[in-house]
Structure 1
Amino acid sequence: MKAARPRFVFVAGLHRTGTSLLSRILGEHPSISSIQGAPVPENEGCYLQGGIPHTAMDGRPGHYATDRSQHLCEGSRYDNLETQQRMLSDWSQWYDPSKPWWLEKSPVNLTRMRLYQQLFPTSQFIVILRHPQKMAAALAKWVDEDPAELVRYALDAYETVRADLEFLHAVQVIRYEDLIAQPDQIRRSLFAFLSLKDNDPQIALRDGNSDYGTPERVDASLAERMRRWGYLPGGGIEPHCMICRHPLRAVRENSANELKREALVQTDA
């Protein structure tokens, strides 16, 4: 019998939403291999493969997630064996083949989940969200865009994610704010989602949202859209169900059981 091949866990999120922090936490697990020491920004795998072109125009902060041409799904022009084999060949040199999970973190994963599920059928996805106003304030340091427009950009991207969730077999959506406030519970839930035992990497966390002031008053339509994710104008949050989808009921239940507050999780088949 052939040994089981490693499976991909793709971490997805907009720039400045906590993807790097989340990947550090996950990547310290002894059963997870992640890209290290690559000559690319933040060890992002999108730069290390040639299956899907990643030019200087692709994945641009504040732009890519609402660019329809970068929203890749099943049946797209890259949904073919050649792309899958090229990506696997390019990426495999960066991972430990003895570990069952290979973690890949790139912002563009947010718009490629449906395609990646098609190319790598046993892959799982972890999406991290951040308060749109806080994300916008943080991203404004990088790009020459109005923070108000970046808030709209984030919400548009989140709605694309919401629509894509219906097509994904195995995906968990968390909020940066919950990760900071309840790191042990969220971490245990994520590892349960991957059918792994808990591993505490002892990484010190701080609330990056406290670095940014945000206006209390926003457009009413934007405020309504923020509340769909449990976000309030001015940077506040309210309880919101964390989404966990997995084809195996036991996995969904194990992930949910790691959260002491039942209101934090919504499990779907």
Structure 2
Amino acid sequence: MTTNAPLLPKVETSNPLDQADLLMRTRKFSEALALLQQLAEADPQNPAVLHALSDCYSEMGLVSQSLFVLDTLCETWPEDLNARGKAGMIRLSMGDKKAASAAFRKVLEASPMSAPALVALNLVETFAASSPEAARLRQLAGSPDLPQGVRAAVCNAIGQIEDAAGNAATAMRFFAEAKAETPGSYPLAEYDKMVAEQRQAFFPGSFAEARAEGSAQRFAFVTGLPRSGTTLLEAMLGRHPEIGSIGENPGLGQALITARQLVQEDAPLTSHWHWTKHATEADLTALRSMFLQMNVPGALRSRSVIVDKQPQNSFNLGFARMILPDAKFIFMMRHPLDVGLSAFSKDFAEGQAFSKRLEWIGHQIRTVYASLDDYLPKLGNRLRLQSYRALVEQPEQQLRQILDHLDLEWNPACLRPEDYSGAVNTASLVQIREGINTKGLGKWKRYKTELAPLVDALGGWDWIREWEQRDAALCSTKAYKASSTFSSLAASASAPNGALTTNMPEPTILWPSRAGGNLASLRSAPGSASASSASSIGA
């Protein structure tokens, strides 16, 4: 097969802005930036061009440049509430709560019923249940004209308010209403089938793998369930001078899709792993080069280790092993009931349908651990299990072990994730700036009654207690042992399977970029009340 480039959608367009949008959607950010800079130079008074330029900078991690363009838009067109809201979200992602709050309040001065501004401001400072802002959110929730996605964001925000007020049952009702407004279904049987095939087909040494050549960087994949603490660990590691992060990057899943499509040209695929029988060392080496070229920006090429913290890359560890044989993996373990509650209380725009129902969340948790159990002995000391509890209760000890796992020297700066210089564009953007703390432990206990369907889907309290015992063993172990498997946990699971082509969507923000993912359908100005929330319970 030929692997010179990934298979990309072919779209015919003569509109330069549409061309730039397509380039960003296919992760050709440098080409998009060059085009947008030309357009901005030719027409510096075109707000659409400047918005697109800001979005491109943001997607490339150049948040200062993105913010400069947005501030220019706000100065030139003060009525552009979209620019003001997006600038506020960037400042919030960088930890500047005061400036973010000021931006959102400025939007509300012009548009008091702006759902995006109310939801965003609630992220910064949770409203009191009796506040005027909470009353406006309830008024919006009762409006029959509210678009579906906006209603989900508003209901979720009200749930956060009720949670802060200690009203667990009421909060859960609003979280359920938010999920009911979210489209999508969860294919349980497909997940089961895919992990079953992983167990039968993935055996390192039985198929080709890429040659580790042409790159000075080593990859570290921080994985686990969504809401398991991956963002906290990323921020900790990001303080190390030899580590750079590409965040929740879809690149590994896209490379896997490309590999499967290219093999399918020569050999019909009969299973999710069938393609590996036909891939050669040259094919995988070419895929490795493509992956590195598309996913390691120039600014990070001086770093020794690149962190990819896409949580559900946990299903893709086998493929990562094939194209990046020198990669290391860290799987974050957080209490399954805390993970489940946090996922249910998170307003995903799209792509995380499993979080719509507590029963589905339970199945996803069991599936992820069944896949992990299969990978543990096969990946050996490349894969480290990391207890979230141990990380927040024993941060220095755990970080020393993690850095040793990544073949890096100790650096005390890693103990201050709140000083992380990068933007945090996940649902944990507010919590990370609070530093290392234990607030994310045991939040499920207030919701024990409401979480009964999740407990049943996990297999009951026996499964949960066994998970707790294994986590306690990790917390008390001075040195990580790769033999710590979950075989007994997985034995009673329903032939689980994780979709190797499934990836976490780009993080939801209130004022969207043009670059696709969850953000593509959320392009209205804040005054139009079209947005979804990044708020949720947990770390």
TM-score, normalised with respect to structure 2: 0.37
Correspondence 1:126-141 to 2 at 5 A: 126-141=330-345
Cα offset, 1:30, TM superposition: 0.9
Q: Deviation of residue 114 (structure 1)? A: 1.1
Corresponding position: 1:173 with 2:385: yes
- Which residue is equivalent to 2:424? none
1:190 aligns with 2:402: yes
CA distance in 1, matches of 2:215, 2:318: 23
Pick the aligned partner of 1:230 from 436, 461, 468. 468
Instruction: Quote the residue 1:262 is aligned against.
Output: 477
Partner of 1:239: 472
Shift of 1:105: 1.2
Correspondence for 1:257:
none
From 211, 217, 221, the equivalent of 2:459 is 221
Q: 1:159 aligns with which of 360, 370, 392?
A: 370
Aligned residues of 1:136 and 1:148 also touching (Cα < 8 A): no
**Offset, 1:187:** 0.8
User: In the TM superposition, what is the alpha-carbon distance from 1:95 to its structure 2 partner?
Assistant: 5.0
Once the two structures are TM-superposed, the CA of residue 132 in structure 1 deviates from its matched residue by 0.9
SS in 1 for 2:326: coil
Identity %: 23
Which of the two has greater helix per residue? 2
Displacement of 1:222 after TM fit? 3.2
Q: CA RMSD in A?
A: 3.3
Question: Cα 1:47–1:92, aligned 2, differ >3 Å: closer, same or farther?
Answer: closer
Measured in 1, the distance between the counterparts of 2:229 and 2:403 equals 17
Alignment of 1:46 with 2:278, yes or no, is no
Equivalent residue runs for 1:72-111 within 5 Å: 75=276, 80-93=284-297, 96-111=300-315
Cα offset, 1:3, TM superposition:
9.2
Please give the per-residue CA displacement for 1:196-254, whole angstroms capped at 9, x wherever unaligned: 121233232122235443427744933333334326xxxxx862237xxxxxxxxxxxx
Alpha carbons 1:49, 1:90 under 8 Å: kept: no
The CA distance in 1 between the partners of 2:400 and 2:368, in whole Å, is: 27
Question: CA 1:92–1:167 in structure 2 vs 1: closer, same or farther (change >3 Å)?
Answer: same
Equivalences for 1:54-69 in 2 at 5 Å? none
For residues 292 and 274 of structure 2, what CA distance do their matches in structure 1 show? 18
8 A contact 1:32–1:99 mirrored in 2: yes
**Counterpart in 2 of 1:234?**
none
Q: Which amino acid aligns with 1:241?
A: L
The aligned length equals 223
How far apart are the structure 2 equivalents of 1:19 and 1:199? Answer: 19
TM-score, normalised on structure 1? 0.70
1:161 deviates by 0.5
**Mapped partners of 2:290, 2:223: distance in 1:** 21
Q: Deviations over 1:112-168 (max 9, x none)?
A: 111101101111001101111110100002365232441332122112111111211
Partner AA of 1:209 in structure 2: L
Deviation per CA, 1:51-77, whole angstroms, max 9, x where unpaired? 2349xxxxxxxxxxxxxx8x7799278
**Aligned residue in 1 for 2:223:** 12
* Alignment pair present for 1:124 and 2:355: no
Alignment gaps of 5+ in structure 1: 36-42, 55-68, 232-236, 243-260
Give the secondary structure class of the aligned counterpart of 1:240. helix
5+ residue gaps, structure 2: 1-212, 259-270, 347-352, 418-434, 485-539
- How far apart, CA to CA, are the structure 2 residues paired with 1:11 and 1:145? 24
Distance 1:74 1:229 in 2: 34
Distance 1:225 1:116, change over 3 A: same
Judge which range, 26-35 or 138-147, deviates more.
Answer: 138-147
Structure 1 residues 117, 74: closer, same or farther in 2, change over 3 A?
Answer: farther
Superposed displacement of residue 48, structure 1: 8.7
Give the equivalent residue in structure 2 for 1:62.
none
Partner residue, 1:28: 239
